[in-house]
Chain A
Amino acid sequence: MEVAVKRPQRWDQPFSPEMREVDVDHLLRMDPFSQIDAKLFPAGQSLRDLLRNDTRIIEYRPGDLVVREGDYGSSAFLILSGQVRVVLAGLSSESLGREPRQQSSWWNALWQLARNPRLPEVRRDKSPAVVSLDVGQQSEEEDCLTAVRNTLEGPRVFVQDVPLLIEGTENDTLGPGQLFGEYAALTRSQRPATVLAESDAVLVEIRWQGLRDLMRRTPALREHIEELYRQNSLRVHLRETPLLASLTSKQLDAVAEATLFESHGEFDWQDEYEQAIKGRRGDAVGREPLIVEEGQPSDGVLLVRSGFVRVSQRFGGGHRTIAYLGKGRAFGVAESVESYRSQQVVNQELSLRALGYVDLLRIPQEALETLVFPHLSQQEIDRWEADRLYKFGHCKCDSKLPESPCESKTNDTLKQGTLEFLVERRLINGQKAMAIDLDRCTRCDDCVRACAATHDNNPRFVRQGPRSGPIQITQACMHCVDPVCMIGCPTGAIGRDAATGVVRINDQTCIGCATCANSCPYDNIRMVEIRDRRGSVMIDQSTRQPIEKATKCDMCLDLPTGPACLAACPHDALVRIDLGNLGELSGWLDR
């Protein structure tokens, strides 16, 4: 049985249904849109269409929260009028009004079970799994600094005591024509700062898909946003680097001036990844772009801004992986400190290679010696120097320094082969990977059945995948540190949950283009043919081809049980785990 329907299109569901033609006209008269050449946009996706469908205009009153630090965001804001204040308060999302996720009640869960159709992928007119983008939720925490007021557009969270929030914090004011929020949108990560309205303000919010297309077709805008991103990310990154924690704002600015940006590897690393997993074991290391070579003189400290790097050492005819470093980690601190103290050139004992595309910040040795080390206490200097890691593959320190890669090095429980496996297959990207201990798994498929029972009668994972010894990393969405699946989505249907960072697909706005499924290097997103409530397969009325939707694991975010697969495993054989934290993995294996 088939039923013909209209194939969903990109802008069937605009960012805001309240955007009117008059609003678009208003935007087109304002900078930077007035300076954009509309001819650069194709007829089917004109600048006007883009502004109408991928932007929304929001009015704020003083104190209103625009974005909340720690929330995942996928949009940027342009100030049309008024002022906003950017606050780096370092407060938890909860104290800034983030409400804990509402989970389905027992009754709803039972009702869902009873209503489960026998056929797979039947779509009812159910409310979509919304990928939350706004801050319209309110916590009931006692020390919460925010409250909610009702507006015509719905509830709006505002800060009750602005002076209390900004007291003793680093903050800045932005005015008309300035853009913010691009950092989280470009990096698919958390908002690094809270932004609240300083006065009555009108902002235009541009969702990632619109921002991407604007940047693609307007080189000047792209350069401006990228420069903004570099500046903002540099400031955010340096501020969060423990080595620089004791520096004042002024000293930090001087370090920022001296810091160099470096990029290594290919942005589109999927092909290289596929070659690596098909090739001979150990060969992939040689093909990875070399950043620092073992035996070469140390030249400052490298900070990983995005992506992953492999730390390795020559061993026999190959290279032995010692550790891997992700966003926020540093390389070469101990060598730099040693060089500073001895006033001699110190050689690197380890090599550093890019795993895919990597953005790095290099603080040159000269800058460290003049701007950083003189401001550190003797105790701190000793501590950093003692943190010389990975000599001959063993961590010499028991340091708990946040920059110490000790937690990402191998240990007795986790064999060297497992570390090599995780790095070679880039599984370290997974924050909630499904690992199965095959020594305990009885292949009962209770996990698969539970997943199917909670997801349209069709499991959202395949109980197969790459393995190292008894550990199998199953083909389930890993909710990556850098979810590349999100980059190309034309509608914004795939996005991170604002509070948890879980990558979800909004079934209502997914148009079945398969861009995300093709982008996922791990093949963890599946396209499925959908049926209507009577069980008929939906087909496109013009092409007669089946209508497809992208499906993947959503960590059962709405269920009161948490991930159904995890709850259903009778033998403690399955875990959802952050593969970027080897300590967690070895702890699980060493139960």
Chain B
Amino acid sequence: MHHFARRRWINATISVALVALVALWVRFVESSLGRSAYHTGWLLLAMLVALASYSLRKRLPVLPLGRSAIWLQAHLYIAFASVGIFLLHIQFRWPNGILESILACVFAATIISGLVGLYWTRTIPKKLAKVGEEVLYEEIPRLRVILRDRAQNMVLATVRTSGEATLGEYYEQRLRSYFARPRGWRYRLRPSSDVRKALMADLTEATRYFSDTERKSAEQLFSLVRRRDDLDYHDALQWRLKTWLFVHVALTYPLLLLALAHGWLAHLFAGGLS
């Protein structure tokens, strides 16, 4: 068995075992007429603190706090286990208080964002690796400008040398806006090669009207259109990877605050409302 597969099995087994042990404990406490909610609540709060501390670890790279990869593994499996503990804590019933409902919603949103992020971090890198060129996210706007200038200058040079305007007009009508502007939100949310395919097909069709000089330039335009599409693809997927993390981390703070408030109130009214 490969290292990652073995690691997955071991970590999953430990998580399931932890949840099972807590379930048995809850059953024992409940059968002894105790209130397990305090125990599971504190455990859940400790787990949330442990999960949030990963963010702190990332900010302290100079300290020997263990490898980030180990922290991430712990983060993932503690999060999985926390779902089980959460269900035991709410006793498989949706809470009825306002604060508790909001807290449950934020918890669910954080877990869902984490799951979505996990899926994306495991699938998007492979998609990006298949694109020929590796680009840094911060470099993308600059590279876009370079591609736009190259396309524009090449078309202008062709018009000047050949004295024919067909390619120039085609560029103005179909390609100028493609090179000049970033892709819209629709593409960012759901990147596809539709526009590239359509442009390539259009350009192929238009070559019948081009002179020999223009055809040579059109060959380069094909390549530039493809490179621009690759760049946009990188932009969309890298943006997605960065944005989900932002959302996931942003949800952590209200979750922790609400959990603390809930714990405080739970203890404050431990004896019941009089």
Interface 9-residue window, one of B22-30, B39-47, B125-133, B265-273: B125-133
What's the minimum C-beta distance from B131 to chain A, rounded to whole angstroms? Answer: 10
**With A439-B126, A442-B241 in contact, is A106–B64 under 8 Å at CB?**
yes
Do A454 and B58 touch (CB < 8 A)? no
Decide if B2 touches A567 in the complex (CB within 8 Å): no
B69 lies within 8 A of chain A by Cβ: yes
Q: Is the CB of A442 within 8 A of B125?
A: yes
Let me know if B69 and A443 touch, CB within 8 A: no
B63 interface contact, C-beta 8 A = yes
Asked if A570 lies at the interface with its beta carbon under 8 angstroms from chain B, I say yes
Partner of A566, one of B2, B67, B241: B67
Contact flag A110-B129 (CB < 8 Å), given A444-B241, A569-B68, A570-B72: no
Interface hits, B26-73 → A, CB 8 Å? 58, 60-69, 71-72
Q: Within 8 Å of chain A (Cβ to Cβ): is B209?
A: no
Contact B62 A561 (CB under 8 A): yes
B62 touches A570 (CB 8 A): no
A571 within 8 A of partner (CB):
yes
A122 to chain B, nearest CB (A): 16
Q: Does residue B93 face the partner (Cβ distance < 8 Å to A)?
A: no
A572 in the interface (beta carbon within 8 A): yes
Q: Across the interface, do B129 and A470 meet the contact criterion of CB distance under 8 Å?
A: yes
A-side contacts of B60, CB under 8 Å: 113
Given contacts A442-B241, A467-B134, A590-B2, contact A109 B129 (CB under 8 A): no
- The chain A residue with its CB closest to the CB of B129 is A438
A441 touches B68 (CB 8 A): no
Identify which of residues 91-146 in chain B touch chain A, using a CB-to-CB cut-off of 8 Å. Answer: 121, 124-126, 128-129, 134, 136-137
B245 at the interface (CB under 8 A from A): yes
Q: Is the CB of B68 within 8 A of A464?
A: no
Residues of A within 8 A of B3 (CB): 591
Interface flag for A585 (CB, 8 Å): no
A294 at the B interface (CB under 8 A): no
Q: Does A450 contact B (CB under 8 A)?
A: yes
Contacts of A467 in B (CB 8 A): 134
CB distance from B251 to the nearest CB of A (A): 18
Please give me the residue from chain B that is nearest to A565 by CB atom.
B61
**In the assembled complex, A375 has its CB within 8 A of some CB on chain B:** no
Contact flag A112-B62 (CB < 8 Å), given A438-B128, A570-B68? yes
B64, B71, B126, B245 — most chain A CB neighbours (10 Å): B64
Least CB separation from B245: chain A residue: A444
Cα separation A442 to B244 with both chains bound (whole Å): 12
Take A109-B62, A112-B62 as given contacts and tell me if A567 and B241 are in contact as well, using a CB distance cutoff of 8 Å: no
Q: Does B4 contact A (CB under 8 A)?
A: yes
The one of A109, A438, A449, A464 in contact with B136, judged by C-beta atoms closer than 8 angstroms, is: A464
- Bound form: Cα–Cα A566–B70 in Å: 12
Contact of B124 among A442, A454, A560 (CB under 8 A): A442
Of listed A439, A441, A561, A567, residue having the most chain B CB within 10 A = A567
Using CB atoms, name the residue of chain B closest to A591: B3
Minimum C-beta distance from A170 to chain B (A)? 42
Task: Verify B69–A570 contact, CB threshold 8 A.
Answer: yes
Which among B64, B69, B137 is the interface contact of A569 at CB below 8 angstroms? B69
- Bound-state CA distance A559–B63 (Å) is 8
Besides A110-B62, A110-B63, A442-B125, 7 more A-B contacts (Cβ < 8 Å) are A109-B62, A109-B63, A439-B126, A559-B62, A561-B63, A570-B72, A591-B2
The contact sample of 7 A-B pairs, CB cut-off 8 A, is A109-B62, A112-B62, A438-B128, A440-B125, A453-B62, A570-B72, A571-B69
**Lowest 9 CB-CB distances: which A-B pairs, in order?**
A450-B61, A438-B129, A560-B64, A570-B72, A109-B62, A591-B3, A570-B68, A572-B69, A470-B129
